């Protein structure tokens, strides 16, 4: 998987928000707000370029005191949300 081009994480008024940059990604009907851990995962996925649920879960375990099972479940949930919102795409 990888992030779709045109989406960036910004801190707006103390909130982590994913916004579209460029006319093809702008949707003014909603903002994607992330908690600190989800924002950290977004930055990790950006650094990785291509990522998997397992690679993000491994990074989460290395950075936070969380079990592998919990990390994987949390990553699956957030990546599923990102996919549903059109923020990430499967590798071709």
User: Roughly how many angstroms between the first and final C-alpha of the chain, as a whole number?
Assistant: 9
Distance CA 16, CA 11 (A): 5
> Which domains are seen in the chain, by residue range?
2-87 (1.10.10)
Q: Please give the model's pTM, rounded to 2 decimal places.
A: 0.84
Task: Report pLDDT digits (tens) over 23-34.
Answer: 555 555 567 889
User: Mean of the pLDDT values across residues 36-61?
Assistant: 96
| CA 55 from centroid of its chain's CA atoms | 13
Confidence of residue 56 (pLDDT cuts 50, 70, 90): very high
**% of the chain at pLDDT higher than 90:** 63
């Amino acid at each position: 998987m990888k992030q779709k081009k045109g989406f960036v994480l910004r801190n707006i008024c103390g909130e982590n928000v994913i916004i579209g940059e460029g006319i093809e990604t702008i949707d003014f009907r909603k903002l994607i707000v992330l908690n600190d851990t989800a924002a950290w995962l977004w930055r990790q996925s950006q650094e990785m370029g291509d990522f998997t649920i397992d690679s993000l879960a491994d990074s989460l375990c290395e950075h936070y005191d969380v079990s592998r099972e919990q990390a994987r479940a949390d990553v699956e949930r957030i990546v599923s949300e990102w996919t549903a919102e059109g923020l990430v795409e499967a590798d071709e």
